[in-house]
Structure formats: structure tokens, C-alpha cells
Amino acid sequence: MHRVLSDAGSLYLHCDWHASHYLKCLCDEVFGYKHFQNEIVWYYRGGGISPKRWGRRHDVLLFYSKSDKWTFNVDPVRMEYSPESQERLKYTARSFRKTTGGEERVYDSYRPNPGGKHPDDVWSIQPLMPSNRKRLGYPTQKPPDLLKQVILASSNEGDAVLDPFCGCGTTMTVAEEHKRNWVGIDISPTAIDICVSQLELLGAEPTTLGMPERVEDLAEMSGFEFQKWAINLMRAIPSPTLSHDKGIDGKMRVTNDPIQVKQKQAGRPDVDSFQTAIDRVGHTRGWLVAFGFSKEAIEEIARVKRARGIDIIPFHAKELLKAAPVEKIVREGRKHGQQMSFEEFVVKAPKTRPKVEDLVASELRSRAEREQHPA
């Protein structure tokens, strides 16, 4: 970050109480102690207080500049005066000071700024609650207001903002909304896919580099990362847990059909296992994603259809590497009796949490379809 920052650039490093003191020593070494500008306390409310210590209710942002001249815009981030200050400022402030000659002078020209007070280094900003529909599944997802404070203060329109651990892309979306250029980096292809989806909602046209392009690239992912990546590209709802999910890694939107993801070629035992999982949840259709399907797997899929009336739709992982896999998903669904339109299937924010009523309606619709078309 120090290498790529402009001379007017700043670094904001977020951490919590575990490591802030260690990280400050490292930053002092890289940026120089004289370029340390603030330790910002991000304060928030919440539950879960230990009976043996003070409640832990803050994180830290270490603010460093690259040089002695850095961008800092006060007006866009001014804070509201406290009720006590507002009451006091109703009256003319007067102060008495002695000059070097010993004379006493009166200063009574101070007036409050109509935009608010100069911001201090304690910010009271609530994190996104688990029930918030803007949550995208990342436990470290930052509230947009926190990033807005940083970006408006330390950059101007047209400047570039870099987040080298961008997660679900809050930094980039806030930068886009406030007419900054941006670059986001993350080790997770799933994270980049989510970032792209969020940015496209704002009308941005993000360019991605380093994303998986071949099945061999998919094989190099960790198992859980590949699972999350596949579920995300299918515009599906991921299982709440990555393990102990009873053979169901996610559910299709609209139809609620179960999905199972295999980071290998699927064989007959995989089909048998998935058929049991579909049966367990009372569905008659499911999607099996794999790197390929053996002859025995295809035969077992046909047998399960004849004997149990359960449709298992084989979906090759290489199809997810194409620019628009959703069209194929809709076509395959129609072949197997799913009555859906492309517009109905594609949800603008693919990783937002669905409302409870949406899930209930989806399940009722699925039940009604099974009753109309029994096996």
C-alpha cells in the first residue's frame, strides 16, 4: 500500500483489540511515526457482555498519510453538535486572553459551523445486523457509513481507492456512488463475483482479472470455496452451514430445488446419496453440479427417474465458466418441467438474504407443483 499510494494518499487499517498495538508498530516502521495521524475508535452497540470484564464495543482504524501533505476534507464528514453544545452555542462565546504585553483581550467572534462540528476520532456507527437485507454473508462486512466517512474525508472525486482485501465489495460500491475510481482485490473468486454483482446494480462496468477460466482452475480451489462459488453463479441460496448440511449445499431460487456440488466427476454413489437427500426434504427434483458424470451415474439418474419419479439434473461445472450460465439453467429447468421465466429466475442481488415470506411462498409453490404433477 505504501508503494502504490500517491503522495496525497492515506492508509486506513481496520483491526480490533487483539492486534491494533502490534499493527501500529508495523505501520510506524513502514510509513514512519510522524505520518501517523489518528487512531480512530469505531464504537458500536450490541449484546453479549461478559460478566468478568468491560463490554468490548469498539474496533480501531489506524490512519496514516504517505507524506506531509495529504488529502483531508472536513466538510463532507462534519458531525452533529452534541445536545449540550447546541444549548451552549445558543449564546455568544466569549473568551479572555492576555497578550504578550499583559493586556487583556476579549474574543467573542466564534460561531458554530452550520455544517456541524469538526469530526473527532470516535465514530458511533452501528454494524449491519444479521437481519439486515444488505448483509451479503460476510462476517467482516463493514457498514457503508463507515467507508463513506473514510472515502469522503481522504479522497476527492476522480481519485482512486484501493481495497486489497475487498470481501463483498462495500469499499468499491461506496467509492462508485461518490464518483471515485476503485480497485478491489480478494483471494476468493466468490468474493469477486459478489463484488461484480453489487457494482453492476449501480451501473458500473467492472473488469475482472485472475478469475477461474478452466476446469483445472476450479480443481485448485478449496472444497468449500468451490462450493460457494458454484452456488453463487447459479444465483442460488447457499446452505446456512458448509458442513453437516445433510447433502444439500444450496437451493434454487423460485423453485427451492436442492443443489449438491461435487469437486470431482460424479459416480453412481454420488447420485444415490443425492437422491436420498432430495427425498428427505420432500422434493422431486434436484441439481447435481460436478466436473463430469460417469456412465454409471447417468444410468442411475435415469433409473431414479423411472423408479422414484425424482429428476436429478446433471450440471457440468464448466458451464459455470461461461459468461451467462443462468440461461442454460433456465433451459435445463424447462426440460425437466420447471415453469419459470429468465426474468423470474434472475434476482438482481444474488447474495442478499430472502425474506421469510418469500421462502414460504416458494415452498408453497413447490408443494402445489408436486401435487399437480405427482410421480
- CATH of residue 312's domain is 3.40.1350
Are the C-beta atoms of 81 and 93 separated by less than 8 Å? no
Residue 264 shares a structural domain with residue 328: yes
| Higher local confidence (pLDDT), 210 or 11 | 11
Answer yes or no: is 108 within a domain.
Answer: no
- Torsion, Cα 42 46 49 53, to 10 degrees, reads 20
Residue 22 shares a structural domain with residue 155: no
Q: Which range scores top for mean pLDDT: 71-85, 142-156, 229-243?
A: 142-156
N-term to C-term CA, the chain: 60
298 vs 313: CA distance, rounded Å: 10
Q: Which amino acid is at 252?
A: M
Answer yes or no: is 5 within a domain.
Answer: yes
For 120-240, strand residue ranges (E) read 122-124, 160-163, 181-184, 237-238
51 vs 43: CA distance, rounded Å: 20
Residue 147 shares a structural domain with residue 194: yes
- Torsion, Cα 107 109 113 118, to 10 degrees, reads -20
Answer yes or no: is 248 within a domain.
Answer: yes
Answer yes or no: is 192 within a domain.
Answer: yes
Residue 259 shares a structural domain with residue 347: yes
Split into its structural domains, the chain has a count of: 3
Answer yes or no: is 97 within a domain.
Answer: no
Residue 51 shares a structural domain with residue 132: no
pTM above the 0.85 mark? no
Going by pLDDT thresholds of 50, 70 and 90, the confidence category of residue 329 is confident
Residue 31 shares a structural domain with residue 143: no
pLDDT in tens, 48-66: 788 999 999 999 999 999 9
| Higher local confidence (pLDDT), 88 or 293 | 293
Residue 228 shares a structural domain with residue 253: yes
Q: Which of 151, 186, 211 is the last residue of a domain?
A: 211
Instruction: Tell me how far CA of residue 257 lies from CA of 63, 227, 260, 265, 365, in angstroms.
Output: 48, 16, 10, 21, 11
193 vs 344: CA distance, rounded Å: 21
Answer yes or no: is 90 within a domain.
Answer: no
226 vs 236: CA distance, rounded Å: 14
Residue 226 shares a structural domain with residue 188: no
Residue 205 shares a structural domain with residue 247: no
Q: How buried is residue 361: exposed, middle or buried, by Cβ count under 10 Å (0-12/13-18/19+)?
A: middle
Stretch 83-109: mean pLDDT, rounded?
Answer: 67
Answer yes or no: is 158 within a domain.
Answer: yes
Sorted by sequence, the CB contacts under 8 Å of residue 160 that are 6+ apart come out as 180, 181, 182, 183
Q: How buried is residue 72: exposed, middle or buried, by Cβ count under 10 Å (0-12/13-18/19+)?
A: middle
Going by pLDDT thresholds of 50, 70 and 90, the confidence category of residue 74 is very high
Residue 261 shares a structural domain with residue 342: yes
Q: Which range marks the domain in which residue 231 is found?
A: 222-372
Residue 353 shares a structural domain with residue 242: yes
Q: Which of 158, 189, 211 is the last residue of a domain?
A: 211
Q: Which of 35, 51, 70 is the last residue of a domain?
A: 70
Coil, helix or strand for 42?
A: strand
Residue 267 shares a structural domain with residue 306: yes
Coil, helix or strand for 316?
A: strand
Residue 57 backbone dihedrals phi, psi, to 5 degrees? -130, 30
Contacts 24+ apart (CB under 8 A), 362-368: 362/253, 362/254, 362/255, 362/256, 363/256, 365/254, 365/255, 365/256, 366/255, 366/256, 366/257, 366/283
Nearest to 282 by CA among 358, 339, 367, 357: 367
Count CB neighbours of 347 within 10 A.
16
Answer yes or no: is 184 within a domain.
Answer: yes
pLDDT at 191: 87
